[in-house]
Amino acid sequence: MGELGNSQKMMIAVLCVFGVGFFMVGSNKDQSDEQKRNSAMVRDVANMQRMAQQKCPALIKKHTGSQVDGLLSTMETDKGTHFTLNWVADDERNFKNVSCTLGLTTNGMTITKFVVDGKKIIDK
């Protein structure tokens, strides 16, 4: 038979992905309600974190003119309704510290609090 070609390797990889997917779906059926709730909470927190890390740096750039790459100091969450990111800057930035909170509102997840150097820009 010899070596496998690239297309054969790709077919095997696709079949493996489908196999893993079927295994995961099958194993999820055996989860208790508590395990399902815990899994949903983990997904919700991960989604809030992802959204906050997309929206907050853009808002900081808009209000301060500075990037926040690599400056993230702390993250706080109640694992359900809000996710707060805090940045502490070095001397090269146009701010010293920024706090940005993504919160659950009637319009979905939006920035509910945004504070730059102690000055509240958004407070809903």
Residue 7 included in any domain: no
Tell me what pLDDT residue 106 has. Answer: 86
Residue 26 included in any domain: no
Do 75 and 61 form a contact (C-beta atoms < 8 A)?
A: no
Share of the chain above pLDDT 90, in %: 32
**How does pLDDT run across 11-62, given as a tens digit for each residue?**
777 777 777 777 766 666 667 788 778 778 888 888 888 898 899 999 999 9
Residue 92 included in any domain: yes
Tell me what pLDDT residue 5 has. Answer: 66
Residue 9 included in any domain: no
Residue 4 included in any domain: no
Structural domain count of the chain: 1
Residue 86 scores a pLDDT above 80: yes
Tell me what pLDDT residue 60 has. Answer: 93
Residue-number span of the structural domain to which 40 is assigned: 31-123
Tell me what pLDDT residue 65 has. Answer: 92
Q: What is the 3-state secondary structure (H, E, C) of 36-82?
A: HHHHHHHHHHHHHHHHHHHHHHHHHHHHHCCCCCCCEEEEEECCCCE
Residue 109 included in any domain: yes
**Order of all β-strands in the sheet with 119-123:** 72-77, 82-88, 97-105, 108-116, 119-123
